[in-house]
């Protein structure tokens, strides 16, 4: 039960994040399903994993593609569309206020750690999920550090000017 419980925690965490950012929980469930998968998933596979209808999943997928969280790919010889996650979940967070983002980062961290602690078995799948969770924890910490740095600036212009100076110095 450890791996399945960890998967459930991950899916719920992404669904809760979607809700907090004013999106449908389905957006989070889809992202969670893709995050946990080792292969691109079709719309029907995602619908089956999330329990939502194909039409709902298709509509939600347009939102995820629009904000750059997922990418549509084609497999040679297959007419179906498949989807993978992109590595910019932090960009989604940036659409909310900084304090809400920090709360979300901390809740995500707690849930990732909780999911990790649930996995007590030593199967290949358990090891694969553990590695994905550990990577997500590292990304979560990096996102928090970057956000805290950004929050020290007074304006977006100041951030851009600082970044431009850094690039010129490089």
pTM of the model: 0.59
What structural domains and CATH numbers belong to the chain? 2-154 (1.10.10.10)
Taken in order 162, 165, 169, 170, the sign of the CA dihedral is positive
Look at the block and give the residue holding tokens 């600082």. 162
Q: If phi over 0 gives left and psi between -120 and 50 gives alpha, with beta otherwise, what is residue 155?
A: beta
Taking only the tens place, the pLDDT of each residue in 27-66 is: 989 989 998 999 999 999 999 999 999 999 999 998 888 7
Q: What confidence tier does 170 reach under pLDDT thresholds 50, 70, 90?
A: low
CA-CA-CA-CA torsion sign (73, 75, 81, 87): negative
Identify the bridge partners of residue 71 per DSSP, sorted by sequence position: 84
Cα distances from 109 to residues 13, 64, 169, in angstroms, run 10, 22, 34
Query: pLDDT tens across 90-132, in order?
Result: 445 444 456 677 888 999 999 999 999 999 999 999 999 999 9
């Amino acid at each position: 039960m450890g791996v399945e419980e960890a998967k459930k925690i991950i899916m719920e965490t992404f669904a809760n994040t979607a809700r907090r950012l004013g999106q449908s929980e389905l957006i989070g469930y889809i992202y969670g399903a893709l995050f946990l998968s080792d292969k691109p998933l079709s719309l029907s596979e995602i619908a089956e994993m999330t329990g939502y209808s194909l039409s709902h999943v298709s509509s939600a997928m347009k939102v995820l593609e629009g904000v750059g969280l997922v990418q549509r790919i084609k497999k040679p010889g297959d007419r179906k569309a498949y989807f993978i996650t992109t590595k910019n979940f932090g960009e989604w967070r940036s659409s909310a206020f900084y304090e809400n983002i920090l709360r979300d980062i901390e809740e995500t961290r707690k849930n990732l750690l909780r999911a990790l602690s649930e996995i007590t078995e030593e199967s290949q799948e358990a090891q694969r999920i553990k590695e994905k969770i550990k990577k997500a924890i590292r990304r979560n910490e990096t996102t928090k550090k970057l956000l805290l740095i950004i929050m020290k600036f007074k304006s977006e212009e100041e951030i851009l000017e600082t970044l431009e100076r850094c690039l010129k110095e490089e």
